[in-house]
Structure 1
Amino acid sequence: MDHPVGNDMVFRDLWALRKWTRLLNLEEGFVEHWHHDRIVLVGDAVHKMTPNAGLGVNQGWQGVVALTNSLRALLSSADANFGTDALTRVFEAYQKRSEKMAKDSVFLSKLYIRITAWHNVAYKIVDHVGPYLGGDPVTFKLLASPIVRRGIVLDGVPEPGHKVGHIPWDNKPYKEEDE
């Protein structure tokens, strides 16, 4: 309660000003089977991660993009068969395309929540030493950037004005001349 949280404020002062408190269950999990017959799961239904690392919604969108690309390939193919076998192949391609990135995101999210929540003494030490080694910016550059840079892009949707930052993307945006 006596931990400083501002220039002239300790946590006890902040706690006294609260209007309410709530204890939340932050769920985690990873499903091995993402589809069955004509049913497919995406996002938190497949890979649930704590929000502190900020990777959950990003990974959900990556799954949507991978599934959309696989469905687009089926729709644009000469094979007009949209039966269960064709959809199973589409769903398998979607899972194969995004599963590694999802597992990496779940792993990093699990690690980050355990460090910041001081899950054990080693994590507490890492959390105290981290700021002296560059803190969250360095951590995310070393651990999150290699995951995020592999981001999947939508096939068939051009991205005019695409910009490249300090860390370049592995997948380049679609260009109309690609077809």
Structure 2
Amino acid sequence: MVAPSVAWLVWLDRVNAVTAQMEPSVISSMIVEGSKMVLVGYLDDRFYRAKKLLLNGLEAVLVRANRTIPASDRVVSLSHNSPEQQQALEKLDELVAAVKETNDFPGEPEEREQIVAELSAGRRLLEAARVRVAAVRETLAPTLKWIGEKAGGAVIGKLAADVWQYLAHLHIF
């Protein structure tokens, strides 16, 4: 007879905490059914059925809340040289030029160099016909947020917001 692992028990405890906060529904019933399945003494198929009920229920909760499930390896095609790709590159080029040229940059010279490098790295990723969404997001999101927080009302702040909006339109953010 094999007992559930500690990791499974901790995860199940967290799932139960989530379902305790939910209104009764088909989704919560599915999650509860999976969490109450007796697993000790049964073959793997019972464990996988319980796991499937739990994961499908939790996924339904996310979909119902209009949230996407994180897909760190999701790849999108930008159709090389398409108008969308060209516009994204142009918007980044405009922002990089503005960061380089502005006299009222809200940081130290080293920060300006860092920001230009990060924006250029994001631009390089977007030059490819296919791009991993997480790579673009991790490269550009913190930089665009920093510019927005430090220079929201300035020209570079508005350009950063424009880049963010456009990338959101492309489902990258």
The answer to whether TM tops 0.5 is no
Structure 1 length normalisation: TM-score? 0.24
Q: More helix per residue: 1 or 2?
A: 2
Structure 2 length normalisation: TM-score? 0.25
Higher Cα Rg: structure 1 or 2?
A: 2
